[in-house]
A and B are shown apart, each in its own frame.
Chain A
């Protein structure tokens, strides 16, 4: 096992993507699809093969020096350590399953080469983020992910709605990227290096006045990619993309990039108490906000989108509480069950004849028991059913928050607990509306390709049983992930077994309570959800309108002023009147050359007269 294996991990999907870019449409369809899956699958196998390299401090691998100018040295470095290795494994393995599913999902699609090329490039960019040991390399992947998500969300660009959603995702995440870019430049200015390991080891020497703004900049960068408040508006719209894209971008990879960034730079981030508090506050508020929005959504994928936002908020809360291990744990379990849920939702939409509205579904449990079981596995894990993976990971985050024992964090804990209840409510609302009752949709259901169901089975297994990777000692586990992360796991959580049991019981009670609430409301006749409160929640607390009013409108007015007020009236006005003046003068002057002999002769006479007058004046003066 040589270090160059590390290079092959991101390279495999890149090669697959490039081959599909260059030859995709000329190859037989099967081969093109095979290339895409093979690229990601190879990457997953290589990650497994390289696993021993992750032990201890991890392995650095410098490929070449990317930039070199004076003191600026940017080596193209990869780092395979206890933090990046499981993340890379999760990204590649979940992506492989999503790729397989995508083959089935995109069966009737003509632009398959573009789709698979973009998917592969997306995985490549994500792996760059995960494996980078250099902030600039990370930023490269960061932007690559942004571009690919833009192209994938707007994949069906012929409909303007989809193209707009892609643009929105691109622009909103770009706002965060600007802050991250500033943070990276600042870090380079402070340390003279962009190596993540070097920055983390030297961070302790920074003054508090520098640290807090730096952490805030990093947080804003992470907020953009992870769709946290206030840069969250792109995620629900991004559901316009094909379902495999939703599963890939909005569950397993891109939205977790922000959490991963904060975990990666945790030694730096954790030094600023204010920064940590802000991270937790953003996380808890987003978790609550998105959960309330998910309660009212009518589109099945939008419920899941808001739920993703909410769960990523939990991860932020975990990072802010100092529990990197907990955040990464939840990141992994969430990737499993949310990818599963998205893809199962794709199956559901197929079975309901392309119907997105959950109020027009129903009765699917009898129609397709397999899809029901798969969806149920994901949903239970999302809602935090006791002993499912989501239960353990959410529990570890709540415990980490609880362990801090300050009024501020206790307040956030209340919010998080409330969110857990809401999560159970909206998950069961989804389950009841989609799978229970009588079918409410019309139209012929689409055929469900086998490739769309069997990649979900392994995901369903890990979604339920994935808790084992970090089963707390309380349950007789060994907290494998926390031990594996070692020094990267963040602050250890000190709570007694009684408290741990109390939190677990609370989570279980919340789950059951959420279930019962949903059952009462949605089991029988469908409730009307049309009041002003529902509309408010359906529109995501009017966030889009608010942003349009507060930011876009003033900006548009300013732009209009500069365009019409300044550019058109003032600058163009001056230029046009100058031109008009010249033309008028020219017209007058042109009349002189009338071509008439008499006019010329008259001009000669006048000239003569002038000369004579001139001489007369001369004579008179002398």
Chain B
């Protein structure tokens, strides 16, 4: 393995935190979705690195599941974004507070 595992994990962690920061900080629904995608990709990267390190194929199979799940999630989320945008004419997340207690 050319790149040591610790570098891969460090990069994945940095990527995850950036995604998290994006999710938490942004108010725009699309930006929040992008943050989530980034976090998912960070998790995928960690899987790949681990699979290469232990020379086991399981991690790579997980990543394929992850991609399938992500694409399904994105498809549904984008559909919801379009629907919500039509309802409130806004993509600001705080506009959608109809569920408050």
Q: Which residues of chain A have a CB within 8 Å of any CB of chain B?
A: 590, 592-598, 601-602, 605
Out of B29, B96, B99, name the residue touching A593 (CB < 8 Å): B99
B41 at the interface (CB under 8 A from A): no
With both beta carbons as reference points, the residue of chain A lying nearest to B20 in the complex is identified as: A605
9 A-B pairs with least C-beta separation: A595-B100, A595-B97, A593-B101, A597-B93, A595-B99, A590-B101, A594-B100, A596-B94, A596-B97
A605 pairs with B24, CB closer than 8 A = yes
Least Cβ distance of A150 to chain B in Å?
58
Question: What are 7 residue pairs bridging A and B, where the CB atoms are less than 8 Å apart in the complex?
Answer: A595-B96, A595-B97, A595-B99, A595-B101, A596-B100, A597-B94, A598-B27
- Within the complex, what minimum Cβ distance (angstroms) separates B23 from chain A? 6
Contact between chains at A598 and B94 (CB < 8 Å)? yes
**For the complex, what is the distance from the CA of A601 to the CA of B24, rounded to whole Å?**
6
Q: How far is the CB of A506 from chain B (nearest CB, A)?
A: 96
Looking at the assembled complex, report how far the CB atom of A577 sits from the nearest CB atom of chain B, in whole angstroms: 24
Q: Min CB distance, A156 to chain B, in Å?
A: 61
Contacts A596-B93, A596-B94; is A601 near B100 (CB within 8 Å)? no
Given contacts A596-B93, A596-B94, contact A601 B23 (CB under 8 A): yes
Chain B neighbourhood of A605, CB < 8 A: 20, 24
Q: Are A601 and B32 in contact (CB under 8 A)?
A: yes
| A598 and B24 contacting across the interface, CB-CB below 8 Å | yes
Which residues of B lie under 8 Å from residue A590 when comparing CB positions?
Answer: 101
Q: How far is the CB of A287 from chain B (nearest CB, A)?
A: 80
User: Considering the chains assembled together, what is the distance between the CA atoms of A597 and B99 in angstroms?
Assistant: 10
Interface of A, helix, strand, loop or mixed by DSSP:
helix
Chain A residue contacts of B32, Cβ below 8 A: 597, 601
Contacts of B20 in A (CB 8 A): 605
B47–chain A nearest beta-carbon distance, Å: 18
Scan B12-55; emit 1 where CB is below 8 A from any A CB, else 0.
00000000100110010100100000000000000000000000
User: Complex Cα distance A604/B100, Å?
Assistant: 17
Is B98's beta carbon under 8 Å from chain A?
yes
Least distance between B84 CB and chain A CB atoms (Å): 11
* A597–B100 CA distance with the chains assembled, in angstroms: 10
* Closest residue of B by beta carbon distance from A589: B101
Other 8 A-B pairs with CB < 8 A, given A595-B96, A596-B100, A605-B20: A595-B101, A597-B32, A597-B93, A597-B96, A598-B24, A598-B27, A598-B94, A601-B23
- Give the interface size bracket for B toward A: 10 to 19
Chain B contact residues, CB within 8 Å of chain A: 20, 23-24, 27, 29, 32, 93-94, 96-101
Q: A596-B93, A597-B32, A597-B94 are in contact. Are A602 and B100 (CB under 8 A)?
A: no
User: How far apart are B90's CB and chain A's nearest CB, in angstroms?
Assistant: 13
Instruction: Tell me the minimal C-beta distance from B96 to chain A in angstroms.
Output: 7
Contact (A595, B98) CB under 8 Å given A601-B23, A602-B24: yes
A573 to B60, CA, bound (A): 66
Bound form: Cα–Cα A605–B100 in Å? 19
A588 shortest CB reach to chain B, Å: 11
Q: Give complex CA distance A596, B24 in Å.
A: 12
A594 engages B97 (CB within 8 Å): yes
Bound Cα distance from A296 to B46, whole angstroms: 112
* A103→B55 CA distance, assembly (Å): 120
- Residues on the B chain within 8 Å of A602, using CB: 24
Closest residue of chain A to B94 (Cβ to Cβ) is A596
- CB of A587 to closest CB in B, whole Å: 10
Q: Which residue of A lies closest to B97 (CB)?
A: A595
Q: How far is the CA of A597 from the CA of B93 in the complex (A)?
A: 6
Task: List the A residue with the shortest CB-CB distance to B29.
Answer: A597
Q: State how many angstroms separate the Cβ of B39 from the closest Cβ of chain A.
A: 10
Q: A598 to B21: give the CA distance in the assembly, Å.
A: 11
Min distance, Cβ B99 to any Cβ of chain A, angstroms: 5
B93–A598 CB distance below 8 A: yes
- Chain A residues with CB below 8 A from B24, complex form: 598, 601-602, 605
A contact residues around B99 at 8 Å (CB): 593, 595
Within the complex, the shortest CB–CB distance from A600 to chain B, in Å, comes to 9
Q: How far is the CA of A19 from the CA of B94 in the complex (A)?
A: 79
Residues of A within 8 A of B23 (CB): 601
Residues of B within 8 A of A597 (CB): 29, 32, 93-94, 96
Chain B residues whose CB sits within 8 angstroms of the CB of A596 once the complex forms:
93-94, 97, 100
Nearest CB in chain B: distance from A574 CB, A: 28
Residues of A close to B96: CB separation below 8 A:
595, 597
Contacts of A593 in B (CB 8 A): 99-101
Inter-chain contacts of B101 with A (CB < 8 A): 590, 592-595
Give Cα distance in the complex from A605 to B32, angstroms. 14
Separation in Å of the B60 CB from the closest CB of chain A? 25
Alpha-carbon distance A487/B97, docked complex (angstroms): 98
B98: A residues at CB distance < 8 A: 595
